[in-house]
Amino acid sequence: MGITEIIFIGISLAMDAFAVSICKGLSMKKMDFKKAIIIGLYFGIFQALMPVAGYLLGSTFAEFIEKVDHWVAFILLLIIGGNMIKESFENESNKSNDNVDFKTMLILAIATSIDALAVGITFAFFEVNIVLAVSVIGIITFIMSILGVEIGNRFGDKYQNKAELAGGIILILIGLKILLEGLRLIP
């Protein structure tokens, strides 16, 4: 597998993290680059670590992981998205869901990187330079996550509650898409 394929895989894997980063940026009153970097690091590191874990697991657990990865991602994104929707209807004027605490970011990072675990398993079956692959995937995800926060923040300044509602809906739709793809109901 060449660098071109690895770059495209990295971009594909980063899309969920990018979308969630947009949602986090939507909730920020003003752009906070420290939080954007934290978000990028969580997503980038997890997107890089999950293929390593998948690579190490190899084919031993491939059938089991493929059976449940979409359910895990769906449930986590449903919970997080539902919470964002609920918070969008609260009337707190100083409310902001730009939380980047360990628990919040860990759940989001796992939810958006489950598919990278499956990709790592496929890496075990091909001739892949795993260090190069995970480095490229991590860097692409880091950059796209920071861009996502910035894009979300520009939109969110004007439409705080609507943006949080939209962000919650987007997370649920991403989870639903992952679930439907995992169940092979959509290509």
Print pLDDT tens along the chain (187 aa).
Answer: 788 888 988 888 888 888 888 888 888 878 889 999 999 999 999 999 999 998 888 767 666 766 777 787 788 778 877 877 887 787 654 444 678 889 889 998 998 888 888 788 778 777 789 999 999 999 999 999 999 999 988 876 555 567 667 777 877 887 788 789 888 888 7
The answer to whether position 56 is within a domain reads yes
The answer to whether position 21 is within a domain reads yes
Answer yes or no: are the C-beta atoms of 118 and 54 closer than 8 Å: yes
The answer to whether position 99 is within a domain reads yes
The answer to whether position 45 is within a domain reads yes
pTM attached to this predicted model: 0.71
The answer to whether position 125 is within a domain reads yes
Look at residues 46, 50, 11, 4 and name the one whose alpha carbon lies nearest to residue 148: 11
pLDDT at 114: 83
pLDDT at 93: 44
The encoded tokens of residue 28 equal: 């920020």
The answer to whether position 109 is within a domain reads yes
pLDDT at 163: 62
Rounded Cα distance, 117 and 91, in Å: 39
Domain ranges, residue 148: 3-182
pLDDT at 94: 42
The answer to whether position 170 is within a domain reads yes
Rounded Cα distance, 176 and 73, in Å: 9
How many structural domains does the chain have?
Answer: 1
Look at residues 139, 131, 129, 101 and name the one whose alpha carbon lies nearest to residue 17: 139
pLDDT at 95: 44
pLDDT at 101: 87
The answer to whether position 187 is within a domain reads no
Rounded Cα distance, 68 and 87, in Å: 29
Rounded Cα distance, 55 and 133, in Å: 11
